[in-house]
Chain A
Amino acid sequence: MADVEISYRPDALAAEDIDAYLDQHQHKSLLRFITCGSVDDGKSTLIGRLLYDSKMIFEDQLAALEADSKQVGTQGQDIDFALLVDGLAAEREQGITIDVAYRFFATDKRKFIVADTPGHEQYTRNMVTGASTADLAVILIDARKGVLTQTRRHSYLCHLLGIRNIVLAVNKMDLVDYEQGVFDDIVSDYRDFATEIGIEDFVAIPVSGLKGDNIIAASEATAWYDGPALLDHLETVGLDYDRRRKQPFRMAVQWVNRPNLDFRGFSGMVASGRIAPGDPVRVLPSGKTSTVQRIVSLDGDLDHAIAGQSVTITLADEIDCSRGDVISAADAPPEVADQFEATIVWMADEPMLPGRPYVMKMATNTMRATITDEKYQVNVNTMERSPGKQLSLNGIAVCNISTDKAVPFTPYDDNPDLGGFILIDRLTNATVGAGMIHFALRRSHNIHWQAVDITRDAHAEQKGQRPKLLWFTGLSGSGKSTIANFVEKKLHAMGRHSFLLDGDNVRHGLNRDLGFTAADRVENIRRVGEVAKLMTDAGLIVLTAFISPFRAERQMVRRMIPEGEFVEVFVDTPLEVAEQRDIKGLYKKARAGELKNFTGIDSPYEEPENAEIRVNTVEMTAEEAAEYIVEQLFTGD
């Protein structure tokens, strides 16, 4: 390499005067940035170059790199910087970066953490992950290709995640003879697009990752360019934390520190603002007020703390405060709500379904949440909006979301720590989505529970029975309705008060607006669950007969009903048997392709794992099954 001599050498001072070096290093700030671009744009090469030029590569690594470069490199006898960066074995073989990798380097002014993520559309979730912690984004463009669809996608995602510092690195300038015209045209194209999506400002730099032009120092090859080199800019650009410190004090309580009866401290990371002993504070959602007594630390009490610090504070008054609460400046509390509009990015193979309950984690709060309405999806390539009923992997949509408790929050744009959330699948525990709150929906302030005098216990007592919900689930043709009908007849004969909600019947009325897509099926079950819940509140023994193929929805209904009152009855009939019976002729239609999304044929049935009652209709008649169910129902009552 011809330009190795210009390598940046932060170690010169270290050799000369280590104490001065340490002093300098300990006062460095931290900048986290993300690089966006595909392999072809030379992203890995650029990062490799930054690591190499800032001397973050040791001799043994360099030797390995040289060996690797000759063996699998794409640069002939030259060093292939990309190999420094591409980590896992699988991707080294395929020549692409698959996941999010973090790299580190430092100059005498700053320490840098680089999130390196792949650029393809199928890796949108990885890019969003990397962007979530970044102060700045470097968007790479191949000078020969100009602004591409992926450039738009990357820019949109960075903007969506709230990154305010955008650098447009027009790379491979060496391949267009460092021509100013090429650079200017690209910058002009990009400006048009950036304005369109709301990016107010960006810095464009002509670079060559391969040759090192304008990476760490101004290049003679681009004499017409008078802006900063990439590293100059990275070293001097403003940080998001500077903004946060100016906002009112807010801290989500992470953990209550209670080592003995005499001490009760509230631990958390300061999300915004500044706090000092004596400051008046308010605890949300309760709204109780107090004043800060101490900011406790191992090195002695602090006289103040600022955004970004992890602290433990004590309050002057004994007020209720626990994990999930937010302590804020008394005169500037955050809003509290349980319904929001938010942008959601979906990260799982299994699609997001409105109505399905998810676990939501926001700041230190964990709650249940459902998407109540998907307003529109955004095409990340064209920015076009379109209606949708579900959201698949890497999809982005603006949705209304509702939580099972009211929580303190700020809009994401004000503070990602109090307005960004993840969604977790309740069965697999995987992180399936991420979201950014725009604002709270008005409704959430207006709907209240009406307290009633005749309680559900009073209703049940009057009927002399314990309310139950017998939830029959099984394939079409398994015998759910038939058996449920027999069970209700027996209950009636025993003088019990019951009601049978049948799947087909409900679809003629309450749910006649719903079809058979996965999203509609979820909504179907949700409504039936709510109706059944009201009926159990009235003291009834409710029987329902729905295929209800998804575990998550059965679980959702189970959660609506008080412990011990939900009885899952699995009508276990093998698919071959049900298909052979085909009482309604539906299997035949489904096999012929006339019926779509038919359970067992082209839509899955997830068997119950721990049903309270299981009946096998191959071994038992419907009457026998009903008798068995009634017997089980009242054992132990």
Chain B
Amino acid sequence: MTDMRTKADPGLTPERLTHLQRLEAEAIHIMREVVAETEKPVMLYSVGKDSSVMLHIALKAFYPGRPPFPFLHIASGWDFQALIEHRDRTAGEHGLELIVHHNDEGEAAGINPFDTGSATYSQTMLTDPLKQALTDHGFDAAFGGGRRDEEKARAKERVFSFRNASHGWDPKNQRPELWSLYNARKNKGESIRVFPLSNWTELDIWQYIHLENIDIVPLYYSAKRPTVERDGLILMTDDDRFRFEEGEQPVEKSIRFRTLGCYPLTGAVESEAADLPSIIQEMLLATGSERQGRSIDKGQGASMEQKKREGYF
């Protein structure tokens, strides 16, 4: 894929901040607050576009130092190859302390995205190992890239969101958050999920990536890739473990991804958008919301809230 990103002008207006500058300043403020007030923070690094924005802001927040916390990636074992390459290259470039956690037992027990139901699969290979890794390392605060515009349950979640010892969320028992004051005091066994991008929208994320020229996984840009269509989703046959059903043949299609999950469960969109302005243009004119391509969110309206109560990030 050729890089066709155009370099945008940072557009600093001299005496008034733009909305992106205010959002960036807020995110930096939140990150510094966590570093100042918690004992052992970690940044959840899913390698997706939101994570890439978080990482970029973290590099700014602590410059000229490096971000004073490690980056945790929960690898399900079914991640896109391009994502893993991007992860390792980025970590090397910025000298990040990268922790990769994988549920070996789940894999040994034969849990996989083809035979296991999507709920059990994501619980076993994503949610459980996340909880396990946070507990094992004793992290008391974890940055996540969640945004309030993603989903109704998120719209109510605080920037500092507390989890009990089993990582569950209680939406009825959230601390009031006033001004830019965050109460980071924990009770025994509690940990905090911190969402510095709470007030960003999908458009803000893309616009910021464009403005700041942030390197993202190439899968977000359109290219010819081998695919099969199944249950209304366009899936990419990313490696030779992909299990074809009867009659299925890989078809070359020009596709890109709006969100990156486990490759056998993540739907692509057909697209010719190979640079950021085109992606943003497609997004603005799109008719489906961002999470549409994730099979994990299907179900009744309240399902995300249910998952969060149980510890989904």
Contact = CB atoms under 8 A, between A and B. Distances in A.
Contact of B59 (A98, A128, A263, A298): A298
A224 B207 CA distance: 41
A516 interface: no
Given A312-B63, A424-B183, A92 B148 contact: no
A26 B11 contact: yes
Contact of A58 (B17, B20, B289): B289
B310 to A, nearest CB: 14
A430 B158 CA distance: 14
Contact of A431 (B8, B175, B281): B175
A30 B19 contact: yes
Interface stretch (A277-285, A303-311, A464-472, A542-550): A303-311
The listed residue with most A CB atoms (<10 A of its CB), out of B64, B210, B278, is B64
A27 interface: yes
Interface string A305-343: 010111010000000000100000000000000000000
Contacts of B277: 18-19, 22
Given A26-B207, A310-B25, A424 B185 contact: yes
A422 B183 contact: yes
A296 B64 contact: yes
A241 B179 contact: no
Contacts of A132: 178-179
Contacts of A308: 17, 21-22, 25
Contacts of B186: 429
Nearest to A64: B301
B281 A15 contact: yes
Q: Identify the 3 closest CB pairs spanning chains A and B, nearest first.
A: A259-B65, A30-B19, A89-B302
Interface string B147-158: 011001101100
Interface stretch (A413-421, A498-506, A572-580): A413-421
Contacts of B242: none
Contacts of B281: 14-15, 18, 21
B109 interface: no
Interface SS of chain A: helix, strand, loop or mixed?
Answer: mixed
A298 B178 contact: no
Contacts of B287: 58-60
A157 interface: no
Contacts of A129: 176-178
A193 B26 CA distance: 36
Interface string A283-301: 0000000000000111100
Nearest to A361: B181
Interface of A: 11, 14-15, 18-19, 21-23, 25-30, 58-61, 64, 68, 87-90, 92, 98-104, 106, 110-111, 113, 125-126, 128-129, 132-133, 241-242, 245, 254-255, 257-260, 263, 265, 267-269, 296-299, 306, 308-310, 312, 323, 347, 359, 361-362, 364, 416-417, 420-422, 424, 428-431, 434
Contacts of A133: 178-180
Contacts of B33: 254
B152 A30 contact: no
Interface in B240-289: 277-278, 280-281, 284-289
A260 B10 CA distance: 30
Nearest to A425: B185
B224 interface: no
A113 B147 CA distance: 13
Contacts of A416: 179
B207 A310 contact: no
B64 A263 contact: yes
Interface stretch (B46-54, B69-77, B129-137, B197-205): B197-205
A88 B178 contact: no
Contacts of A434: 176, 178
A310 to B, nearest CB: 4
